[in-house]
A and B are shown apart, each in its own frame.
Chain A
Amino acid sequence: MKIEFKGWVKSGAPWVWLNAGAVSVCLIMVLGLLGLIAVRGLNHFWPSEIIQAELVGQDGSRLSIAGEVVERELVPASQIRSSGVAVAEGVEYLERYLLKLGNRDVSGSDFAWVLRVKLDKEHYPDEIVAIERREWGNLYGYLLSVNESGKEVASGSKAWGTFQDRIDRALDIYDDIYRIEKTDIGSVNYQFERLRLKQRKLELKGQNDPQTVADIEAQKAELEITYQQQQEALTKLYGEFTRDSIMVVTADGKQVEVNLGKIVRAYRPNTMELFAKIGFYFAKLWEFVADDPREANTEGGIFPAIYGTVLMVILMSIFVTPFGVVAAVYLREYAKQGLITRIVRIAVNNLAGVPSIVYGVFGLGFFVYFLGEEIDKIFFPEAFPSPTFGTPGLMWASITLALLTVPVVIVATEEGLARIPRSVREGSLALGATKFETLWRVVLPMSSPAMMTGLILAVARAAGEVAPLMLVGVVKLAPSLPLDGNYPYLHLDQKFMHLGFHIYDVGFQSPNVEAARPLVYATAFLLVAVIAVLNFSAVSIRNHLREKYKSLEV
């Protein structure tokens, strides 16, 4: 084989290959990133086995530890040596585990890096139990006994069955308590507040004649009675709820008593069958999608964030579609095509490139502080000094994002309108239809897929946008959902939770980042999945549309 160096260079092959390499790098980056998020995000719900071992200290002391292996990595021995730990000669790399030890209330920290060489007698005991709690994270240990009102009811091998039954019972009670606290009492409080505002409003208007005031007072008294009843029911339920407890002994021999009211679930991962694990996986996944967050958002579900995101996006669509379409129709069908329309078109196009934070600043300054305060002065003087619309909230967030995405809709709709052949329009006009009738009956239906594409792209952009929302309406934890059973049902003035902001907040503002990390990955995966689906559907609608109208073009 003759080596042809000159010819190779001359043919431009190295450059072509380098360019090909650039594409490959891009592809690897995208797919790798998606893979990373998917693997990390979806792994979290799988019940991992609990390892127990003895940790040998520097001075030869032994400490029994148990936990889940979260991460494994190889570290060069020199790095370990330089940190003052003795490592045998000839060893170049050491394996290191990140263990989730749980038991934060017992031992202080729930994650630890340990060198594998320092672990002795590694084994996976069948009996070890992982207990998910509402506070303090997971607890790992061995079940000793189950107690009812301080008296032991089961121990030894029977304890596990009794324990599971009683957890189910506690969870049922928890559901009742949750319903009363969140829904019933929440509603009573809400009505109280409404009455207070009503009274204040009458006062301001000077219409607080004794009759109406007495009416309101009577309503208040009625609510007070309902409230008292609910309180009583709650107290009773709480008594029931905290009746049972268990005794657990941790790997290092400490005994801990855990009240059943604090337990979300308990399982023995080391003895789980594959199907049990799959069942567990989906139960956890469901919890993630459908439950409220726990422990400063680091555990539990993200339902309020999903809910908030969806609601905000829907509201945004309601604002953005008509305005975007009207503007596009005007620009394409009604405005005189000339220099000014060209300039406007460029300007609209470019607004899509203006940083989203600028929209946030505008939304905060103009909508919240300017419009909101004016609205408060005119419509909600009774709530003064606490602002109603003069503070960031759902409505302003939706409008700000509508403004942010209106260029997307305009551009897409205009493109759709431009694609409709003249002949179709002229045919309609020739048959005697007016311009508006042509538009309404022929042009708009034909371009509706383009509007759809625009809307989907706008939704995809809005769903992932965080920076402006940080200024105009999201919070890390909203006390109630912005759409609920209390009149007027849709609370446009409330703050809401958002998936994107949830990622930022839990990932960066959380006190226990290590514990929160898997949940952040899972949230990210969910968000990416939603946006990917939206985007692909936009793309396929667009392609479909192109095919459909290809035959019409001359």
Chain B
Amino acid sequence: MGDAITESTRIDFYEAKYKRRRKVRAFIDKAASLGIGFGGISVIIAILLIFVYLLSEVLPMFKGASIEHRAHYATPLASAGKTLFLAMEEQTEIALRLTDTGQAIFFDAENGVLVKQVSLAIPQGVTVTSIAKDAPGTGLLAYGLSDGTVLLFRHKYRVSYPNDKRIITPVIEYPYGEQPLALGTEVEAIKQLAVRGQESQLVLSGANSTGELLIARFSKEEDFMSEEITLEQANNWSPQISGNIRSLALDIDQSWLFALTDKNSLNIYRLRGGEVELHSQLTLTEDVAVTEVEFLLGGISLLVADARGTVSQWFLVRDSKDNIGSWSLQKIRSFDTGNAAVGHVVSEQRRKGFLVANATGEVGIYNSTAQRSLLSEAVSEASFQHLAIAPRANAFMFESDQGQIGIWNIDNEHPEVSWSALWQKVWYESYEEPEYVWQSSAANNDFEPKLSITPLAFGTIKAAFYAMLLAAPLAICGAIFTAHFMAPAMRRKVKPVIELMEALPTVILGFLAGLWLAPFVETHLPAIFSMLIFTPLAIVLMSFIWYQLPNAMRRKVPEGWYAALLVPLIMLVAWVCISASAPMEDVFFGGDMRSWLGDVAGISFDQRNALVVGLAMGFAVIPTIFSITEDAIFSVPKHLSNGSLALGATPWQTLVRVVLLTASPGIFSAVMIGFGRAVGETMIVLMATGNTPIMDWNIFEGMRTLAANIAVEMPESEVGSTHYRVLFLAAFVLFLFTFVFNTMAEIVRQRLRKRYGSL
């Protein structure tokens, strides 16, 4: 020992060895604090990244469109006649110009260099007097000719990859033969024309130079082997029309014909069976000339542009109040494109959007369903002769009055979403009235995704509401008893059980709710409701009886153990209710409460409904609310309640007047956190409801919540698509909602803690 002391006293701390060691230690310390600082901050940043990332996925949806100049050049082969029609193919590499001399001129969209010139099969001595196009995508076009006939042809683009290089070859085809079809019997030039070719029939409608309206219907048969089409004329009408026909349009089902006459009056004809009738006549605009009528994608909605710069969307609406089959053309929404007259309206070929060009050379991009104006920009000093949009709506081209072709690129990723489309009622095509609809995908191509988040948000709130209806009273009352009255020995056992309840995976709750509870509830409906009524009654009755018992007996079980006393009673009540369920159904509901609900009360019933969700999710939320409330009540300073008791208040009075009052902010925050949890819960709702996005408070019907919707649709959603981003928006809404709720609750709790501290 003595040696050791003398040894240590001799240490020279300034020896190089120790100095070095101190340096190393200081360095390690410094490095560690830097490292921990860096690590800690980066973890926190990583967590906050969630917020930023979700936002970054959502924001592009609300960005408008932008356009960018690509090329301009003089109209190629201007000598081949005036342009009647412009088009671009899928890749926007090759453009097409159809002339009034019957020439199809394919040229390189980049520089106007001629790619191919085709002379259409127009008979000798006949001139082109009008042009019409079928639905985009079919490529079908029709020339109205001066001898009262119509030539149908198609522009098509074959893509091949020789030597891994894409080569696009444009072709002109005559699907209905090279022989023009006669429209009407007279040899008069066709001034206006409309065409619709469907699977089994072809309908042509035209107006000739004498002002006569002509309609011809052909039935169509396609040979499978040679793909040759044989046409047979089925009907030929020339209905009465007054006024000067300016434009014709046939709807997609070939059952409605819209004829614009004079300034702004629209004649609607109905083609049904073997006859055609004038259905109605209406004035489209007030005192303003209509400049163009064009179909929106799908061939259901008409876009009507006028000279004052307004474009309005119209479609036929079935009147539900009257008899079936009563239709009326209604103005659905309108877009203000400025004050200049609208010269051209072109519909997008994949979405319900359209491009507008007005007389001052301005171009605007709009989306009909979202009622969104995405862009308005001047692109030319002169007004346009023609306007065309690429099939993918990623470019447009125009021919100006001065014989210049201009091509511009469009960047317009998510036009179909707008604040109003997401949250407000939208009048979709073929719907009777504006509605909230969530329908993100369907089997056919013409489908327009209906992305209204409202029904999902509604479902979320509904599910959370019913869950809270069960959970809040149970959890708060339970917490009050546990914290304030319960014997410590019992409390030590109860708390871990409730904590275990919190840890139960929700997938198990959901599975039990869907596979066990839902069928149980369905067959024992009266039991569920009688339990809700009789359990509290039985408890109160028990309390009354207990109060009447002699004191000696009462003292055997102190107040703190009441809960244990009640367990057998409640089980008994539940058992009685369940076994009395069938007789009750017999007596009150004619044997089957479910059908009684439907027939007598008029309430529809789903097996997996809000009641089941409420019970299951209530179960999941109870522990959250319970433990926070219990904490808040238990940590109310003891001297407060002791003071109250000392002044002669009963324990219950102390609780209500002193303890609860002090703890109320804590209880409030518990409810908020519980609500936040119910809102974000996924698996229970996914498994215990039918996941139908309906808006109805009916407790016997299901719902679809934001979270369940994400779980269902996210794996199938295409990355970067509008649907994908809307799902991100749903996640963002959930995130924000729970985050705000929890933060509020947390602040309330911290304040409360401070107050307890000061007490």
Residues of A within 8 A of B (CB): 1, 3-5, 7-8, 10-31, 33, 36-37, 74-76, 78-79, 82, 93, 323-324, 326-327, 329-331, 333-335, 344, 346-351, 353-362, 364-366, 369, 403, 406-407, 410, 434-437, 439-440, 460-461, 463-467, 470-471, 500-501, 503-504, 507-508, 513, 517, 520, 524, 527-528, 531-532, 534-536, 539
Contact = CB atoms under 8 A, between A and B. Distances in A.
19 contacts: A12-B650, A18-B477, A74-B582, A334-B36, A354-B50, A358-B735, A362-B731, A365-B54, A365-B57, A369-B719, A466-B506, A466-B507, A467-B707, A503-B507, A503-B511, A507-B511, A517-B515, A539-B496, A539-B499
Contacts of A335: 37, 40
B570 to A, nearest CB: 5
Contacts of B478: 19, 22-23, 25-26
A379 B449 CA distance: 38
B738 A354 contact: yes
From DSSP, what is the main secondary structure of chain A's interface residues? Answer: helix
Q: Which of A23, A355, A508 has the most CB of B within 10 A?
A: A23
Interface string B6-29: 000000000000000000011011
Nearest to A530: B505
Contacts of A10: 650
Interface in B673-703: 673, 676-677, 679-683, 686-687
Contact of B570 (A28, A33, A517, A539): A28
B748 to A, nearest CB: 11
Contact of B514 (A349, A500, A507, A535): A507
Interface string B597-629: 000000000000000000000010010001000
Given A354-B738, A359-B50, A524 B511 contact: yes
B501 A350 contact: no
Nearest to A79: B591
Interface of B: 25-26, 28-29, 32-33, 36-37, 39-41, 43-44, 46-50, 53-54, 57, 473-478, 480-482, 485-486, 494, 496-501, 503-508, 510-512, 514-516, 535-536, 539-540, 542-544, 546-548, 559, 562-567, 569-571, 574, 582-583, 585-586, 591-592, 619, 622, 626, 650-653, 655-656, 673, 676-677, 679-683, 686-687, 707, 710-711, 714-715, 719, 727-728, 731, 734-735, 738-739, 741-743, 746-747, 750
A353 B507 contact: no
Given A365-B728, A504-B683, A20 B25 contact: no
Given A16-B485, A28-B571, A4 B650 contact: no
A346 B743 contact: yes
Contact of B505 (A24, A357, A440, A531): A531
Q: Which of A349, A353, A461, A463 has the most CB of B within 10 A?
A: A353
A470 B514 contact: no
Given A12-B652, A29-B622, 7 more contacts: A4-B547, A23-B563, A26-B498, A350-B743, A466-B506, A503-B507, A534-B503
Return the 5 tightest CB-CB contacts between A and B, nearest first.
Answer: A330-B40, A355-B680, A12-B652, A464-B505, A22-B477
B559 A93 contact: no
A366 B371 CA distance: 31
A26 B501 contact: yes
A327 B574 CA distance: 49
B566 A8 contact: no
Contact of A437 (B29, B44, B728): B29
B164 to A, nearest CB: 16
Contacts of B54: 358, 361-362, 365
B746 A361 contact: no
Contacts of B680: 353-358
A324 B711 CA distance: 27
Nearest to A535: B503
Contact of A25 (B474, B508, B564): B474
B39 A82 contact: no
Contacts of A329: 36, 40
A369 B56 CA distance: 14
A348 B45 CA distance: 11
B331 to A, nearest CB: 39
A517 B482 CA distance: 37
Contacts of B626: 26
Q: Which of A7, A361, A364 has the most CB of B within 10 A?
A: A361
B44 A361 contact: no
Contacts of A357: 680, 682, 707, 710-711, 731, 734
Contact of B499 (A23, A327, A535): A535
A20 B485 contact: yes
A520 B511 contact: yes
From DSSP, what is the main secondary structure of chain B's interface residues? Answer: helix
B171 to A, nearest CB: 31
Q: Which of A12, A21, A344 has the most CB of B within 10 A?
A: A21
A464 B684 CA distance: 13
A33 B516 CA distance: 11
Contacts of B28: 434, 436
Nearest to B477: A22
A21 B622 contact: no
A78 B714 CA distance: 47
Contacts of A463: 505
A32 to B, nearest CB: 9
B536 A21 contact: yes
A407 B547 CA distance: 49
B655 to A, nearest CB: 8
A13 B547 contact: yes
Nearest to B53: A366
A526 B432 CA distance: 52
A437 B31 CA distance: 12
Q: Which of B40, B477, B731, B735 has the most CB of A within 10 A?
A: B40
A381 to B, nearest CB: 18
Given A16-B485, A327-B39, A347-B48, A532 B503 contact: yes
A480 B76 CA distance: 62
B47 A464 contact: no
B43 A350 contact: no
Contact of A26 (B46, B474, B679): B474
Contact of A21 (B33, B40, B516, B535): B535
A188 to B, nearest CB: 32
Contact of A18 (B46, B540, B559): B540
Nearest to A410: B43
A357 to B, nearest CB: 5
Contacts of A21: 477, 535-536, 539, 563, 566, 570
B508 A527 contact: yes
A353 to B, nearest CB: 4
Nearest to B649: A12
A36 B622 CA distance: 19
B714 A361 contact: yes
A344 B40 CA distance: 11
Contacts of B710: 357, 360-361, 471
A531 B506 CA distance: 12
B503 A504 contact: no
Q: Which of A4, A407, A436 has the most CB of B within 10 A?
A: A436
Given A17-B566, A466-B683, A79 B592 contact: yes
Nearest to A513: B515
Contact of B512 (A33, A327, A403, A531): A33
Given A12-B653, A362-B53, A25 B535 contact: yes
A24 B561 CA distance: 10
Nearest to B677: A353
B481 A23 contact: yes
Contact of A362 (B44, B50, B591, B738): B50
Nearest to A498: B507
A471 B712 CA distance: 9
A350 B656 CA distance: 30
Contacts of B33: 334, 435-436
Contacts of A79: 591-592
A355 to B, nearest CB: 2
B429 to A, nearest CB: 31
